[in-house]
Structure 1
Amino acid sequence: MIEETRLKQVAEILRRAGLNDQTLSLLRETFTDLHFTSCLDDDVGVGEPVHRDEDFNIYLVDGRSHCLKLTNDLDGATGLLLAQVEDED
């Protein structure tokens, strides 16, 4: 389960620090009960982000069963997929 306030905290950290290896390490150290994964938003393919921002989107991950899957259910979420949005220039 991921609380809405925790999701907002992660989004604010990403907004201020950017999505990079250092920020990802900080998030893993700060929120030890969550699993964090990152990729480019274009690589996600399916699913809708639970949070949209100019430079990143956040997707919920459900890891309770054998395979990981994207979800929109905060109660079933065990981690976050942080997806970098690239400029379309």
Structure 2
Amino acid sequence: MALTTEALEEIRTLLESDAPATDRCAGVRKSFPGLSLTRCDASDMGPEVPAFETAEFCVYLIDTSEHCVRLTGDPAGATGLIVAQKR
């Protein structure tokens, strides 16, 4: 599932809502059922640069099309997200 600019903006909007963090991630999963979403703590991502940030999350794009999952900066090649919660 390639991510468009519009899809990334919708994901940002969902993650910036006032709902609890768990509900916001569930909202992304519901709105994008073919998209893999992994949630973790921001400290788990080390020095990696997120695709975008919100006040509470760093969001990374991943490509799961091959055997190993890898971070990507290409929304067109992204098949999922890592949503890393800031503490």
Q: TM-score interval w.r.t. the shorter chain?
A: 0.7 to 0.9
TM-score norm. by structure 2 comes to: 0.87
Residue 53 (structure 2) aligns with: 52
Task: Give per-residue Cα distances to partners, 1:30-78, cap 9 Å, x unaligned.
Answer: 2112111111111112421110222111100100101111111112110
Q: Which runs of 5+ in 1 are unaligned?
A: none
**Pairing of 1:1-89 with structure 2 (within 5 A):** 1-17=2-18, 20-86=21-87
TM-score norm. by structure 1 comes to: 0.85
Answer yes or no: is the 8 Å Cα contact 2:40–2:82 preserved in 1. Answer: yes
CA RMSD of aligned residues (A): 1.5
Q: Which runs of 5+ in 2 are unaligned?
A: none
Count of matched residue positions in the alignment of Structure 1 and Structure 2: 86
Q: Percent identity?
A: 30
